[in-house]
């Protein structure tokens, strides 16, 4: 966690803002193709809504009446572009290792982990604004929930920002496996499966069997979509922000520890 104190200085914060801005504007040249992706995502969302309307009982289940389920699906079709889809940090780290550029990146006077996370965060913000919001607008005709209390917007956004950070950190660690392996597809698919299965992007976690529900509920993956959606839909209060804060610290510590191990591995190999 040593980078946190360093990152808190004004100069460092300015560097990370610049990196995030660059990650944001790099995507602007692909806006047309992203619009096509958004339309495809909206179509998938429509199919998902009608699937759930046909399988849940009229009285609903847990906290989810049929209309609530529609709201859950539509908001997560927007959130998913910030916490699941479009994360590329793993490929940037992998490509840097394969090309040898990682040696130069590690020599820069900026924390390697924070450098990649800041760039990725800017890209994720672009995804939320230019891909997630259009999807939400396209699905709004099916039913879109508007929170009744103004504070809900702030808590839901805070939870979502934490979820995006956790997702990016997880994929950063997937990219780090390139220091030891020639192919990162296996850890990527494992992480993606856990994120989608336990993240609540396509269904509430209450759908899972009781033991899996308890496991998923307290995993970092629930912070990606499930917790922000619950807060936004006012099914839960701001207390669901706390798991995101805890897991953000945990994944940061693990990612920094793995980065140090990877650096030592590179130096031992003569990189």
Residues 6+ apart with CB under 8 A from 178: 93, 94, 97, 98, 184
Nearest to 135, CA basis, from 50, 38, 233: 38
Q: Which of 109, 88, 113, 85 is nearest to 251 (CA)?
A: 113
Dihedral (C-alpha) 252, 255, 258, 260: value to the nearest 10 degrees? -60
Rounded-to-integer distance, Cα 143 and Cα 69, Å: 10
d(CA 223, CA 217): 9
With cut-offs at 50, 70 and 90, classify the pLDDT of residue 2: very low
- Of how many residues is the chain composed? 271
81-113 tens-digit pLDDT? 899 888 889 999 999 998 888 988 888 888 899
Q: Which of 100, 179, 95, 168 is nearest to 128 (CA)?
A: 168
- Residue 237: both structure tokens together: 């209060």
Q: Cα dist. 6→13, 14, 163, 258, 259 in Å?
A: 9, 12, 23, 19, 16
Q: Which of 20, 22, 25, 26 is nearest to 118 (CA)?
A: 20
Q: Percent of the chain at pLDDT above 90? A: 52
pTM score, whole prediction: 0.87
Q: Which of 1-5, 11-15, 180-184 has the lowest mean pLDDT?
A: 1-5
* pLDDT tens sequence across 193-218: 999 999 999 899 999 999 999 999 99
pLDDT tens for residues 221-262?
A: 999 999 999 999 999 999 999 999 999 999 999 999 999 999
Strand, coil or helix: what is 237? coil
């Amino acid at each position: 966690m040593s980078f946190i104190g360093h990152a808190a200085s004004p100069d460092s914060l300015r560097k990370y803002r610049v990196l995030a801005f660059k990650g944001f504007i790099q995507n602007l040249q692909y806006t047309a193709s992203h619009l096509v992706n958004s339309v495809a995502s909206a179509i998938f969302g429509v199919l998902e809504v009608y699937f759930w309307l046909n399988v849940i009982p009229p009285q609903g289940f847990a906290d989810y009446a049929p209309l609530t389920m529609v709201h859950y699906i539509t908001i997560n079709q927007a959130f998913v572009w910030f916490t699941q889809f479009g994360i590329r940090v793993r490929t940037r780290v992998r490509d840097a290792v394969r090309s040898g550029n990682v040696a130069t990146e590690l020599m820069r006077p900026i924390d390697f982990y924070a450098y990649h996370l800041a760039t990725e965060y800017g890209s994720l913000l672009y995804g939320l604004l230019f891909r997630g919001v259009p999807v939400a607008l396209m699905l709004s005709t099916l039913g879109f929930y508007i929170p009744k209390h103004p504070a809900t917007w702030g808590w839901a956004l805070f939870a979502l920002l934490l979820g995006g950070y956790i997702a990016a950190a997880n994929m950063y660690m997937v990219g780090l496996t390139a220091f030891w392996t020639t192919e990162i597809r296996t850890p990527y698919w494992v992480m993606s499966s856990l994120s989608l299965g336990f993240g609540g992007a396509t269904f509430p976690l209450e759908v899972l069997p009781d033991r899996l529900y308890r496991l998923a509920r307290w995993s970092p993956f629930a912070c990606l979509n499930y917790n922000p959606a619950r807060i936004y839909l006012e099914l839960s209060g701001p207390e669901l922000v706390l798991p995101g804060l805890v897991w953000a610290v945990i994944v940061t510590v693990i990612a920094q520890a793995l980065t140090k191990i990877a650096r030592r591995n590179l130096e031992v190999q003569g990189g």
